[in-house]
């Protein structure tokens, strides 16, 4: 199975980059499934129904979220009825939405997409390791699904690497999001799980992680801020990861970073 994952879509610049570059990237890579992290898609914080529908119209199959999942309150009733919009699985059980989604391809192959949120330097949610372990045990690769993809949303590379090693051989890929910077560690672990600690953001890289630079600089240099963060609105770059898996075992056979746009080295 060919899996294309696009990292955090940040505001209008990110949405435009997705619309501009996804058709070309999809033509080059011919993915069977396209997954995007959309938790920053609405003006840099959260997502709404309108944007989700725009992504689905671009042939995105599944949208994952993160710590900004609920910043646009109108998403709460929508996530209850749209199963392709997946929030972190380790939110409390009563939280709206679901933490995983099984997507069925036209040929019958199935991929389970899981979203989890890390805890180090993040909100103190339930244990992500236990939550992911439980759903993976209930849906083993090679039996109920052909592949399992985890978007692990968190700050610390150590926690993301630990999760990948914990799941090595039991999931197809563990790809990190949240830091908005693509890491250079794309690899396949010894058990067959693909890892990259962060896919990077899809947005304007002439910025501070997608935001206009003035307010973040003031916060760092003066410890005060007179304004809210505002999304950078220059030309966006698409960042993501491409993973291929063996359909029988679900294990990864290839992982490559994907970058398309004006600011970063394209690959």
Order of strands, edge to edge, in the sheet holding 2-6?
A: 85-86, 62-64, 33-37, 2-6, 238-245, 252-260
Q: What are the pLDDT digits (tens) for 7-39?
A: 999 999 999 999 999 999 999 999 999 999 999
Domains of the chain as residue ranges with CATH: 2-260 (3.60.21.10)
Beta-sheet pairing, 194-196 with 173-177: parallel
Instruction: Kindly report, residue by residue over 193-244, the tens digit of the pLDDT.
Output: 999 999 999 999 999 999 999 999 988 998 877 788 899 999 999 999 999 9
User: Which tens digit of pLDDT belongs to each residue from 91-150?
Assistant: 998 999 999 999 999 999 999 999 999 999 998 999 999 999 999 999 999 899 999 999
The predicted structure's pLDDT at residue 223:
83
Does 165 qualify as catalytic in the annotation? no
Q: Exposed/middle/buried for 9, CB within 10 Å: 0-12, 13-18, 19+? A: buried
Quickly state the pLDDT bin for 80 (edges 50, 70, 90): very high
Model pLDDT, residue 170: 98
Helices (H), 39-153: 49-57, 75-81, 128-138
Query: What whole-number distance in Å separates Cα of residue 234 and Cα of residue 130?
Result: 41
In angstroms, rounded to a whole number, what is the distance separating the alpha carbons of residues 109 and 222? 54
Of 136, 153, 157, the residue nearest 145 (C-alpha): 136
How far are the Cα atoms of 30, 48, 64, 68, 255 from residue 44, in angstroms, in the given order?
29, 12, 15, 9, 28
CB 122 within 8 A of CB 90: no
CA of 53: how far to CAs of 19, 109, 134, 168, in Å?
13, 24, 30, 34
* C-alpha closest to that of 261 among 237, 233, 232, 235: 237
Length reported for the chain: 267
3-state secondary structure of 211: strand
Residue 164 has pLDDT above 80, yes or no: yes
Q: Are the beta carbons of 37 and 153 closer than 8 angstroms? A: yes
């Amino acid at each position: 199975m060919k899996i294309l994952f696009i990292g955090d879509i940040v505001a209008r610049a990110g949405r435009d980059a997705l619309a501009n570059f996804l058709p070309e990237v999809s033509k080059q890579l011919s993915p069977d499934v396209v997954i995007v992290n959309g938790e920053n898609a609405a003006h840099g914080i959260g997502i709404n129904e309108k944007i989700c529908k725009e992504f689905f119209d671009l042939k995105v199959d599944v949208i994952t979220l993160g710590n900004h999942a609920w910043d646009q309150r109108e998403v709460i009733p929508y996530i209850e009825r749209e199963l392709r919009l997946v929030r972190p699985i380790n939110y409390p059980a009563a939280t709206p939405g679901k933490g995983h989604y099984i997507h069925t391809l036209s040929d019958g192959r199935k991929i389970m997409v899981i979203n989890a949120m890390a805890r180090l330097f993040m909100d103190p949610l339930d244990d992500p390791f236990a939550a992911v372990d439980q759903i993976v045990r209930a849906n083993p690769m090679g039996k109920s699904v052909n592949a399992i993809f985890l978007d692990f949303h968190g700050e610390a590379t150590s926690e993301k690497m630990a999760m990948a090693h914990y799941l090595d051989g039991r999931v197809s890929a563990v790809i990190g999001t949240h830091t908005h910077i693509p890491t250079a560690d794309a690899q396949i672990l010894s058990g067959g799980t693909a890892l990259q600690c962060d896919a990077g953001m899809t947005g304007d890289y002439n910025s501070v992680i997608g935001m206009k630079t003035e307010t973040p600089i003031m916060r760092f240099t003066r410890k005060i801020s007179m304004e809210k963060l505002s999304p950078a609105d220059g030309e966006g770059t698409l960042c993501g990861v491409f993973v291929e898996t063996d359909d029988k075992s679900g294990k990864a056979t290839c992982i490559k970073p994907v970058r398309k746009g004006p600011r970063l080295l394209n690959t």
